[in-house]
Amino acid sequence: MKRFLCITLAAVIVLFSLILAGCNDENKKTSETKVTETSSKTSQTVGDNEIQNYLDSFIKGKSDFYGAWKPKDFNFMTIIFRNDNLAELVSGENEGYFSKYTLKDKTINVQLMPNIIDGTYNFKFSEDKQTLTLSQGGSEIVLVKQKDFTIVPKAPQNPTIDKEILGWWENEDGSFYCFQQNGVMYENSISMEFCYTYSAGNGKIKAVYNSGGKQNEEFTYSVKNGNLILNGNRCTKKKMD
């Protein structure tokens, strides 16, 4: 795929996140705890909010950290602190990159973007818990909590859908996908996730996402013996816990 060539910044983020946070193994474990295998012969109903409900499950809980935050000085990004100890940097509208974060006393350690959000910080919430200030070496990063933030795009009008591919699927390397009836698609590739609008037919999936502008992806597919062959990789049908 050529999606990463269009955003040099995203490539730098991924490289440093993988080196500094060692997120691959942890994220794979996270993905595997959320997806369980089901018989390929079992039909699966996928509602139009299936992907959003899955993503929302990661920001539920009592911690004031959980949710989406936007830095006042860096409007091009949004940070999501999740309940599985993953921090997600959303640098476009429909894509996110994972790193780990740890809390200890009044400090948080997180590596999301070199020289911007990288290292151990003291933190303090405002009284209403809607502002979070991270301080390090005399400098501060002020984060403002976002309501109803999502990386899920608006469903397209009258999408072309192949009902055979609807549902959740996982391939052998642990990446997984969801295809909704309303033309919205999700991809989790262990250290990153994407949401698309899509159309499917004649063995091709045409997908679109936003990363500083409209980006196009194309997947090849077929369904054989209850398995989805996506870009040459065999995927088995899944159901979400």
216-229: per-residue pLDDT in tens? 999 999 999 999 99
Give the DSSP letter string of 147-211.
SS---PPPPPSS----GGG-EEEEETTS-EEEE-TTSEEEEE-SSEEEEEEEEEETTEEEEEEES
62-96: per-residue pLDDT in tens? 999 999 999 998 888 999 999 999 999 998 899 99
On whether both 225 and 196 belong to a single domain, the answer is yes
On whether both 27 and 111 belong to a single domain, the answer is yes
Q: Residue 29's pLDDT is what?
A: 37
In terms of C-beta density within 10 A (0-12 exposed, 13-18 middle, 19 or more buried), how is residue 199 classed?
middle
Q: Is residue 40 part of a domain?
A: no
Q: With bands split at pLDDT 50, 70 and 90, how would you rate the model's confidence at 19? A: very low
Q: With bands split at pLDDT 50, 70 and 90, how would you rate the model's confidence at 200? A: very high
Q: With bands split at pLDDT 50, 70 and 90, how would you rate the model's confidence at 45? A: low
CATH value at residue 167:
2.40.128.280
Q: Is residue 155 part of a domain?
A: no
On whether both 7 and 63 belong to a single domain, the answer is yes
On whether both 202 and 169 belong to a single domain, the answer is yes
Q: Is residue 58 part of a domain?
A: yes
Q: With bands split at pLDDT 50, 70 and 90, how would you rate the model's confidence at 116? A: confident
Q: Residue 119's pLDDT is what?
A: 94
Q: Residue 20's pLDDT is what?
A: 36
Q: Is residue 231 part of a domain?
A: yes
On whether both 61 and 172 belong to a single domain, the answer is no
Domain, as residue range, for 120: 3-34+49-146
Average pLDDT over residues 205-215: 93
Domain count, the chain: 2
On whether both 133 and 14 belong to a single domain, the answer is yes
End-to-end CA distance of the chain: 30
Residue of higher predicted confidence among 236 and 41: 236
Q: Is residue 151 part of a domain?
A: no
Average pLDDT over residues 210-214: 88
pLDDT at 11 over 50: no
Answer with the one of 146, 178, 202 that is the final residue of a domain: 146
pTM over 0.75: yes
What DSSP character marks residue 215?
Answer: E
On whether both 131 and 167 belong to a single domain, the answer is no
What DSSP character marks residue 76?
Answer: T
On whether both 113 and 175 belong to a single domain, the answer is no
Q: Is residue 154 part of a domain?
A: no
| Residue spans of alpha helices (H) in the chain | 8-21, 23-34, 50-56
pLDDT at 1 over 50: no
123-134: per-residue pLDDT in tens? 999 999 999 999
Average pLDDT over residues 28-48: 47
pLDDT at 162 over 80: yes
Choose the weakest-confidence range: 31-45, 180-194, 214-228: 31-45
Q: Are 196 and 184 in contact (CB under 8 A)?
A: yes
Q: Residue 115's pLDDT is what?
A: 76
Q: Residue 5's pLDDT is what?
A: 37
Q: Residue 12's pLDDT is what?
A: 37
Answer with the one of 146, 176, 201 that is the final residue of a domain: 146
Q: With bands split at pLDDT 50, 70 and 90, how would you rate the model's confidence at 46? A: confident
